[in-house]
């Protein structure tokens, strides 16, 4: 690092990375990772070979340096680098500030990870870190928040880890299909064909985190089971990791029925977005009710995500925030109208 200015407000840093191949991956195709850092932190990042020059406010340049060094450490350790990793590193650097000695290795290690045969899954935000910790410590975990925060993907990763370590015998995947009433009979095909379109996000995660042949074989043998929520009544799920996705569309009765299926040596993970309820007007979401009733129950983990935790395209976080602001304004107007 070569500082070229003593000004406390504006500065220039030049970073050099030893491995040209890793530096190319760090900067991203056509410099897209550097461009993201520029937009997020308000700096200018100019790359030449394995060097990058950072211009801008001192604190912002320091944060950009932290981001690049931590991501380079990740690449040097043999891990892949995606846009979500860049987003997570930026959030971490901004939350930690720059007025301290930064250790990129320690920073990466501070977030929890899930070790799978195919790959290692690492938390990218503080909420994801708390989520993984809750999954490891509790038999029942609720993950609630907007789309794109990794709720379902991390739930599937944790289920696969338990399955690969033989801590559970099977993985059970469930969600409300079509609508709260689950009128699956109107759809063509057998049970799996009826439900498959609505479990596509979970399938995507399975095939991303496990070998495709293992997934297909496990589906055929029932070690990975697709169980529509309407058909869970009367069952006791033991020695299994059970995931209920899109839980905001369960009714109060359905949620109680599902939670009471928990059997010996079983784990349950319930995910959903309370802001996207498709139930008929006036009907209480089972997820919202459960979060209120069970938040303080011992042995149950509850983790909330926000727009700050969105790790999809950068526009997704802005979209979620815009809808949140609109919803808040609408509720405020309703209160003011009611008061008058």
Q: Tell me the pLDDT band of 91, cut-offs 50, 70 and 90.
A: confident
Reported as a pLDDT band with limits 50, 70 and 90, residue 130 is very high
Q: What is 126-310+319-327's CATH number? A: 3.40.50.300
pTM here? 0.70
**Which of the four pLDDT bands, split at 50, 70 and 90, describes residue 200?**
confident
Confidence of residue 283 (pLDDT cuts 50, 70, 90): confident
Give the separation between CA 213 and CA 74, rounded to whole angstroms: 29
Taking CB atoms within 8 Å and a gap of at least 24, the contacts of 98-101 are: 98/58, 98/59, 98/62, 98/63, 98/66, 99/59
Q: Return the CATH class of domain 10-110.
A: alpha beta
278 CB neighbour count, 10 Å cutoff: 12
Residues 6+ apart with CB under 8 A from 91: 124, 125, 126, 308
- Region 130-156 average pLDDT: 93
Q: Taking residues 245-268, report their average pLDDT.
A: 92
Query: Which whole number is the average pLDDT over 29-36?
Result: 89
| Cβ partners under 8 Å of residue 29, min gap 6 | none
Q: Residue 68's pLDDT is what? A: 92
**Which residues have CB under 8 Å from 197's CB, separation 6+?**
none
How many Å apart are CA 273 and CA 46, to the nearest integer? Answer: 39
What is the pLDDT averaged over residues 199-226?
90
User: pLDDT tens digits for 228-245?
Assistant: 787 787 788 899 999 999
As a whole number, mean pLDDT of residues 249-264 equals 91
Whether 191 has a pLDDT exceeding 70, the answer reads no
d(CA 157, CA 115): 9
The whole-number pLDDT of residue 189 equals 64
The pLDDT value given to residue 182: 45
Mean per-residue pLDDT over the chain, rounded = 82
Domain ranges of the chain: 10-110, 126-310+319-327
User: What is the average pLDDT across 32-58?
Assistant: 90
**Band of residue 172 on the pLDDT scale cut at 50, 70, 90:** very high
Is the CB of residue 232 less than 8 Å from the CB of residue 258? yes
């Amino acid at each position: 690092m070569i500082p070229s200015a003593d000004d406390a407000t504006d500065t220039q840093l030049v970073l050099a990375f030893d491995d040209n191949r890793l530096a190319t991956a760090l900067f991203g195709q056509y410099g897209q990772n550097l461009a993201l850092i520029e937009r997020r932190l308000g700096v200018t990042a100019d790359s030449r070979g394995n060097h990058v020059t950072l211009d801008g406010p001192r604190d912002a340049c320091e944060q950009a340096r932290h981001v690049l060094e931590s991501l380079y450490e990740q690449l040097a350790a043999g891990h892949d680098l995606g846009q979500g990793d860049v987003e997570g590193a930026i959030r971490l650097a901004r939350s930690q500030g720059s007025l301290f000695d930064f250790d990129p290795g320690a920073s990466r290690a501070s977030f929890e990870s899930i070790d799978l045969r195919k790959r290692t899954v690492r938390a990218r935000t503080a909420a994801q870190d708390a989520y993984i910790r809750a999954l490891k410590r509790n038999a029942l975990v609720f993950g609630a928040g907007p789309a794109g925060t990794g709720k379902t993907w991390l739930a599937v990763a944790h289920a696969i880890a338990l399955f690969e370590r033989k801590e559970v015998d099977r993985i059970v995947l469930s969600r409300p299909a079509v609508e709260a009433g689950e009128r699956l009979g109107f759809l063509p095909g057998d049970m799996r064909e009826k439900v498959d379109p609505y479990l596509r996000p979970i399938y995507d995660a399975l095939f991303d985190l496990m070998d495709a042949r293992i997934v297909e074989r496990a589906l055929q043998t029932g070690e990975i089971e697709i169980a529509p929520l309407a058909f869970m009544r009367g069952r006791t799920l033991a020695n299994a990791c059970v995931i209920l996705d899109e839980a905001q569309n369960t009714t109060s009765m359905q949620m109680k029925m599902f939670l009471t299926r928990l059997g010996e040596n079983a784990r349950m993970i319930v995910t959903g977005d309370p802001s996207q309820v498709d139930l008929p007007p006036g009907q209480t979401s089972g997820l919202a009710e459960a979060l209120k009733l069970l938040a303080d129950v011992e042995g149950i983990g509850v983790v909330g995500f926000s727009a700050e935790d969105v790790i999809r395209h950068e526009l997704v976080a802005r979209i979620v925030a815009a809808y949140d602001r609109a919803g808040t304004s609408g509720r405020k107007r309703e209160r003011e109208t009611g008061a008058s």
